[in-house]
């Protein structure tokens, strides 16, 4: 043999896990309450996926980025809140612009962009009635409908010819609902930023999420989390007993809430990938839990006289090696993602790393301690239908 | 028993070999790939937009606007019909794109009014009482109409995007009123956005039968009022048989006229008069339907003009019975039916030996003059190609390092034999996932790579469970062979349970997520499924063979 396997975890441990359950309970409650308080008091740093808005990755054409200069330039545009950060390396900046309202300021921006891109003879004006989103364009000369369509596309507005007059005119009123105008204003803001920084920066990627889609993604994200947790809990309930299902559910909630808490504390970008991380953590943390539960069930059938706390301690110690080993394999894989996965995956990877740790912790202390408080007894177990097979 | 039946061993080897074959083109460096036959080496996983660069748009169709317009047209027709039938009305209004509200002068004329309504459109749901009548689309009818609008928009978008010469655009319906448009490799989206709402040029021309009689596809001399236009089938054939020529046409600057295309590349062409009889902007609707049963019940195309279009169409058809009328769309003739009779009153039909599929396609083309609904961009994501290249690089490094770390970890903790087998199984699992994604046609995104890395970490987990159980059984004093057999047997429930729970999360994530997240869910879920195979059956086969070969007295674990 080339080398002997190293046992990272001793084969026999007799750690009193359940004896520490009160400390764990206090600690976990504290973390979870603080996480929830943090969400409401400080708030998550929502990415544009959920809030709507614009994210632009800009790379300096020469040298490194100057965040102060960029901040001054973009802040003066009047497109609302702009946040800046270095992204990946010191040549690239991530510029985030808040979701645009379809207000008069946006039409004024459109006017600026139009004048810059098409000439000073052009103008864009909002409709006098604030309840409708109509916008009036004026050109220096008369244009036909195709010409108008080209012209308005310079400010990111896509219209059909039949929305335009058939006769040649030099003013055009485009009818829009306020909602449609709000979506268009996103395009206007992108062009405005483009014009302002275009000379010094190259835009490598642009993302724009309109006001409507953002709230929808938020909605479906919440549903996804709820449904996933419920589905997994029901699965565990069917495979084991309801006490196990409840224990698993509490453990998952613990992991999900504390992961969200991590996002609050580190102010990581909470985007769709972050949501993916939360769901994966829920699915992954249950892995360890199931392994422990499986052993608890097996031992309960074997040692019918043993007290629950003692039995849980015994089972956890028996499975401790695999609980820690499985977590470590995922931990090293995720570590590679954190270190080399690049800026886009950064929030995701950090969350996963945290999830692996907290998931391991929760399967021991939260899920199993739950069984103690739910007063699981051996006679509540279903008869063992696997037994005959195992004996064979 | 640890040993597997021979057929199972064979099946495992075949599956593994197939996985390797399917996955290989994705892993080999380009220099080796180029040596392989093209049909094989091209069999790669699609890269998502975030890796290859490109633009992603989510467009929302203004269905309310469309319905409003249709109801306004209906209200117009009603006014005409009421006048004709002498039904007095106080008002006919369109309410919020939902319904038409008619208020009669005399409630006693209700029956007569309802009859007039049926004459205009019998499919409407009629409500209200006394002097008030409301008209709305029936639920099913409304659903069908909305569906039509989206299908039509997708078809038109496809033509628009094809014109820009981009390859492999994805255009699919998303939800009720949205269209997802993905264009890989595009740098500047301005041109594309400009094209999105562009109107196609649809025109009706009479065929110059005298010139056509000459029998030459491309006559040397043409009357000054006549032009040559290639047929749609002809252009499709040219595109398929002579892609180079097609490329030349696409990239020609200034754009080639239809006649130049006919003269240079000789596709089947038709001589038509330059004069436009009716334009597409006057065509209200075209749909695929069926003839009366008495006439044979064949599939036909029915179309409707607005009043201006109807008048010119009526005059032109009356004067040209027996001649062909060519329908030209974007410089191609999509069909040239023979005028059977004067078509007056704004609506007509095109008959012929059509299949339902053909009539549907033709109707769609006729309707593709203008987009039925204005499309608003509600989500836009563009990724530059070099940004995508950076992402590929970062993803690859992370995947390689992650895999290496896990292999080292397994070798260190379970020794060269057991750790080696687990690592081998993990590599085979990666191949299986890549092969699976190739076969399913799934796209690999950056989060998808993250999913692969997670799969690497999780797929050895089952081996950990099994090996730890084996260690336990060994400690309990079982012989090596028996320890292995019971280890596999007893760990199985925990392996399956723990993977299925993770799979639940993966599948739900796929259902709720979109774009790159789907990529993550795909690779993760696929990895969980395939690794059930590698961790349990594949390593078991290896260990069984190893035990037979070495006959160990003690397990090195």
- ipTM of this complex: 0.87
Residue A3 lies in a domain: no
What number of other Cβ atoms are within 10 A of residue B209's Cβ? 13
Task: Give the nearest chain A residue to B50 (CA atoms).
Answer: A205
pLDDT at A192: 92
Task: Give the nearest chain B residue to A160 (CA atoms).
Answer: B197
What lies within 8 Å, CB to CB, of B78 at 6+ separation is B92, B100, B102, B116, B117, B120
Residue A2 lies in a domain: no
Which chain B residues in 531-550 lie under 8 Å from chain A, judged by CB atoms? none
Q: How confident is the model at residue B186 (pLDDT cuts 50, 70, 90)?
A: confident
What's domain B54-200+368-379's architecture? 2-Layer Sandwich (3.30)
Statement to judge: residues A215 and A204 lie in one domain? no
pLDDT at B369: 63
Question: For B489-500, what is the mean pLDDT?
Answer: 85
Q: What is the CATH number of domain B6-51+384-550?
A: 1.20.1640.10
Contacts 24+ apart (CB under 8 A), B66-70: B66/B149, B66/B372, B66/B373, B67/B97, B67/B98, B67/B137, B67/B142, B67/B145, B68/B94, B68/B96, B68/B97, B70/B145
- Cβ(B424)–Cβ(A250) below 8 Å: no
In this structure, of A230-234, A349-353, B197-201, the range with the lowest mean pLDDT score is: B197-201
Domain boundary among A208, A243, A259: A208
Question: For B89-97, what is the mean pLDDT?
Answer: 82
pLDDT at A26: 93
Cα–Cα distance measured from residue A312 to residue A318, given in angstroms and rounded to the nearest whole number: 10
Average pLDDT over chain A, rounded to an integer: 87
Residue A165 lies in a domain: yes
Residue A305 lies in a domain: yes
Question: For B61-83, what is the mean pLDDT?
Answer: 79
Nearest residue, CB atoms, A329 vs list B190, B461, B472? B461
Which chain B residues in 382-441 lie under 8 Å from chain A, judged by CB atoms? 382-384, 386-387, 390-391, 394-395, 397-399, 401-403, 405-406, 409-410, 412-419
A335/B405 Cβ within 8 A: yes
| pLDDT (tens digit per residue) in A52-73 | 899 999 999 988 988 898 999 9
A203/B381 Cβ within 8 A: no
A326/B194 Cβ within 8 A: no
| pLDDT (tens digit per residue) in B131-176 | 888 888 888 888 888 888 888 788 888 877 776 666 678 888 888 8
- Cβ(B113)–Cβ(B133) below 8 Å: yes
Is residue A351's pLDDT more than 50? yes
Q: How confident is the model at residue A388 (pLDDT cuts 50, 70, 90)?
A: very low
In this prediction, what percent of chain B has a pLDDT beyond 90? 12
pLDDT at B96: 74
Domain ranges in chain B are 6-51+384-550, 54-200+368-379, 201-353
Tokens in use for A222?
Answer: 């919440």
A205/B382 Cβ within 8 A: yes
Statement to judge: residues A148 and A170 lie in one domain? yes
CB contact, 8 Å: B490 with chain A? yes
Residue A192 lies in a domain: no
Residue A13 lies in a domain: no
Q: How confident is the model at residue A390 (pLDDT cuts 50, 70, 90)?
A: very low
Nearest residue, CB atoms, A340 vs list B398, B456, B501? B398
Question: For B81-108, what is the mean pLDDT?
Answer: 84
| pLDDT (tens digit per residue) in B285-324 | 787 888 877 777 888 888 888 777 777 888 888 888 888 9
User: Do the domains spanning B54-200+368-379 and B201-353 agree at the CATH topology level?
Assistant: no
pLDDT at B527: 92
Statement to judge: residues A62 and A178 lie in one domain? no
Domain boundary among A208, A241, A268: A208
A204/B514 Cβ within 8 A: no
Domains contained in chain A, number: 3
Statement to judge: residues A370 and A223 lie in one domain? yes
Mutate to test the interface with B, among A247, A283, A285 (most CBs of B within 10 A): A283
Average pLDDT over chain B, rounded to an integer: 84
Nearest residue, CB atoms, A294 vs list B398, B493, B514? B493
Q: How far from A182 is each of A78, A209, B68, B174, B189, CA to CA, in Å?
A: 16, 11, 21, 21, 20
Nearest residue, CB atoms, B502 vs list A217, A284, A390? A284
| pLDDT (tens digit per residue) in A141-196 | 888 777 787 788 888 887 776 677 767 788 888 888 888 888 889 989 999 998 89
Contacts 24+ apart (CB under 8 A), A236-245: A236/A286, A236/A289, A236/A290, A236/A293, A236/B501, A239/A290, A239/B497, A240/A293, A240/A297, A241/A376, A241/A380, A241/A381, A241/A382, A243/A370, A243/A371, A243/A374, A243/A376, A243/A380, A244/A293, A244/A297, A244/A371, A244/A376
B194/A276 Cβ within 8 A: no
Residue A374 structural domain: 18-45+211-381
Residue A193 lies in a domain: no
Question: For B16-45, what is the mean pLDDT?
Answer: 80
Statement to judge: residues A38 and A180 lie in one domain? no
Residue A141 lies in a domain: yes
What lies within 8 Å, CB to CB, of B440 at 6+ separation is B522, B526
pLDDT at A361: 93
A210/B377 Cβ within 8 A: yes
CB contact, 8 Å: A73 with chain B? no
Is residue B487's pLDDT more than 80? yes
Task: Give the nearest chain B residue to A150 (CA atoms).
Answer: B194
Q: How far from A291 is each of A111, A294, A372, B464, B525, CA to CA, in Å?
A: 63, 5, 17, 11, 20
Pairing of strands A169-174, B347-350: unpaired
Statement to judge: residues A113 and A241 lie in one domain? no
Statement to judge: residues A274 and A139 lie in one domain? no
Q: How confident is the model at residue A391 (pLDDT cuts 50, 70, 90)?
A: very low
Question: For A4-14, what is the mean pLDDT?
Answer: 81
Statement to judge: residues A154 and A249 lie in one domain? no
CB contact, 8 Å: B202 with chain A? no
Statement to judge: residues A254 and A361 lie in one domain? yes
In this prediction, what percent of chain A has a pLDDT beyond 90? 32
Nearest residue, CB atoms, B415 vs list A1, A328, A386? A1
Look at the block and give the residue holding tokens 């380009």: B30
Protein fold of B201-353:
Gyrase A; domain 2 (3.30.1360)
In this prediction, what percent of chain A has a pLDDT beyond 70? 96
pLDDT at A389: 44
pLDDT at B213: 82
A290/B397 Cβ within 8 A: no
Q: How confident is the model at residue B348 (pLDDT cuts 50, 70, 90)?
A: confident
CB contact, 8 Å: A222 with chain B? no
| pLDDT (tens digit per residue) in B210-262 | 888 877 788 888 888 888 899 888 888 888 888 888 777 777 766 778 888 88
The nearest CA of chain B is from the CA of A153 a distance in Å of 6
Pairing of strands B332-335, A82-87: unpaired
């Amino acid at each position: 043999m080339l080398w002997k396997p190293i046992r990272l975890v001793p084969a026999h441990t007799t750690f009193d896990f359940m004896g520490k359950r009160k400390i764990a309970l206090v600690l976990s409650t504290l973390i979870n309450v603080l996480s929830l308080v943090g969400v409401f008091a400080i708030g998550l740093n929502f990415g544009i996926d959920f809030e709507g808005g614009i994210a632009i990755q800009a790379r300096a054409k020469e040298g490194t980025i100057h965040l102060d200069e960029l901040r001054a330039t973009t802040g003066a545009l009047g497109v609302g809140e702009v946040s800046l950060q270095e992204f990946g390396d010191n040549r690239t900046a991530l510029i985030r612009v808040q979701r645009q309202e379809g207000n008069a300021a946006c039409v004024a921006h459109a006017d600026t962009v139009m004048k810059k891109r098409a000439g000073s003879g052009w103008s864009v004006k909002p409709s006098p009635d604030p309840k409708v989103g109509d916008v009036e364009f004026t050109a220096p000369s008369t244009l036909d409908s195709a010409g108008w369509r080209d012209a308005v596309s310079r400010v990111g507005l896509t219209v059909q010819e039949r929305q335009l007059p058939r006769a040649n005119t030099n003013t055009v009123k485009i009818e829009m609902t306020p909602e449609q105008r709000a979506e268009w204003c996103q395009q206007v803001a992108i062009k405005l930023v483009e014009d302002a920084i275009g000379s010094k920066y190259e835009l490598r990627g642009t993302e724009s999420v309109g006001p409507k889609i953002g709230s929808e993604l938020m909605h479906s994200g919440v549903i996804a989390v709820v449904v996933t947790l419920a589905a997994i809990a029901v699965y565990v309930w069917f495979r084991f007993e309801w006490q196990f299902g409840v224990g698993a559910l509490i453990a998952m909630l613990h992991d999900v809430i504390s992961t969200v808490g991590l996002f609050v504390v580190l102010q990581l970008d909470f985007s769709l990938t972050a949501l993916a991380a939360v769901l994966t953590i829920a699915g992954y943390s249950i892995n360890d839990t199931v392994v422990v539960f499986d052993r608890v069930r097996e031992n309960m059938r074997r040692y019918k006289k043993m007290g629950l706390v003692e039995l849980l301690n015994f089972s956890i110690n028996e499975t401790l090696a695999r609980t820690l080993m499985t977590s470590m394999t995922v931990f090293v894989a995720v570590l590679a993602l954190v270190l080399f996965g690049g800026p886009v995956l950064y929030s995701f990877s950090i969350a996963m790393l945290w999830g692996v740790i907290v998931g391991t912790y929760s399967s021991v202390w939260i899920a199993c301690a739950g069984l103690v408080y739910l007063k699981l007894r051996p006679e509540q177990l279903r008869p063992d239908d696997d037994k005959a097979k195992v004996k064979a | 028993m640890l040993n597997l039946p021979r057929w199972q061993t064979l099946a495992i080897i075949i599956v593994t070999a197939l996985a390797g074959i399917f996955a290989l083109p994705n892993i080999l460096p380009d220099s080796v790939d180029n040596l392989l036959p093209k049909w094989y080496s091209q069999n790669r996983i699609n890269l998502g937009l975030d890796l290859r660069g490109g633009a992603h748009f989510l467009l929302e169709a203004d269905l309310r606007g469309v319905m409003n317009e249709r109801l306004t047209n209906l209200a117009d027709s009603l006014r005409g019909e009421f006048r004709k039938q002498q039904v007095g009305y106080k008002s006919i209004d369109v309410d919020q794109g939902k319904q038409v509200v008619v208020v009669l002068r005399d409630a006693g004329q209700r029956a007569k009014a309802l009859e007039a309504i049926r004459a205009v459109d019998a499919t409407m749901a009629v409500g209200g009482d006394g002097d008030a009548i409301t008209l709305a689309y029936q639920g099913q009818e409304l659903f069908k109409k909305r569906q039509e609008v989206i299908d039509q928009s997708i078809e038109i978008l496809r033509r628009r995007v094809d014109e820009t010469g981009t390859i492999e655009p994805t255009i699919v319906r998303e939800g009720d009123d949205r269209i997802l448009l993905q264009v890989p490799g595009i740098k500047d989206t301005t041109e594309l956005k400009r094209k999105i709402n562009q109107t196609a040029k649809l025109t009706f021309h009479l065929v110059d039968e005298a010139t056509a009689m000459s029998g030459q596809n491309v006559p040397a001399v043409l009357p000054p009022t006549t032009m040559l236009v290639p047929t749609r089938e002809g252009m499709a054939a040219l595109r398929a048989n002579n892609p180079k020529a097609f490329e030349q046409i696409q990239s020609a600057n200034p754009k080639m006229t239809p006649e130049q295309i006919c003269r240079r590349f000789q596709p089947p062409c038709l001589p038509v008069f330059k004069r436009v009889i009716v334009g597409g902007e006057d065509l209200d609707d075209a749909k695929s339907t069926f003839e009366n049963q008495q006439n044979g019940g064949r599939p036909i195309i029915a179309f409707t003009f607005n009043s201006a279009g109807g008048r010119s169409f009526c005059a032109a058809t009356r004067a040209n019975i027996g001649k062909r009328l060519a329908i030209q769309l974007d410089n191609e003739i999509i069909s040239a039916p023979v005028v059977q009779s004067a078509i007056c009153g704004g609506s007509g039909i095109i008959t012929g030996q059509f299949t339902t599929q053909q009539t549907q396609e033709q109707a769609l083309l006729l309707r593709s003059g203008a987009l039925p609904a204005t499309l608003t961009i509600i989500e836009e994501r563009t990724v530059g190609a070099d940004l995508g290249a950076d992402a590929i690089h970062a993803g690859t490094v992370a995947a390689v390092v992650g895999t290496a770390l896990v292999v080292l970890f397994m070798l260190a903790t379970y020794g060269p034999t057991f750790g080696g087998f687990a690592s081998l199984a993990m590599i085979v699992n990666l191949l299986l996932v890549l092969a699976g994604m190739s076969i399913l046609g799934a796209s690999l995104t950056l989060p998808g790579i993250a999913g692969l890395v997670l799969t690497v970490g999780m797929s050895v987990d089952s081996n950990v469970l099994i090996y730890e159980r084996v260690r336990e059984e060994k400690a309990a004093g079982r012989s090596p062979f028996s320890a292995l057999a019971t280890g596999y047997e007893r760990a199985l429930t925990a392996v399956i349970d723990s993977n299925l729970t993770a799979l639940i999360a993966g599948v739900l994530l796929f259902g709720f997520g979109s774009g790159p997240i789907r990529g993550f869910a795909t690779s993760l879920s696929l990895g969980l499924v395939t690794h059930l195979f590698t961790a349990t059956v594949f390593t078991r086969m290896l260990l069984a063979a190893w035990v037979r070969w070495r006959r160990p007295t003690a397990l090195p674990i």
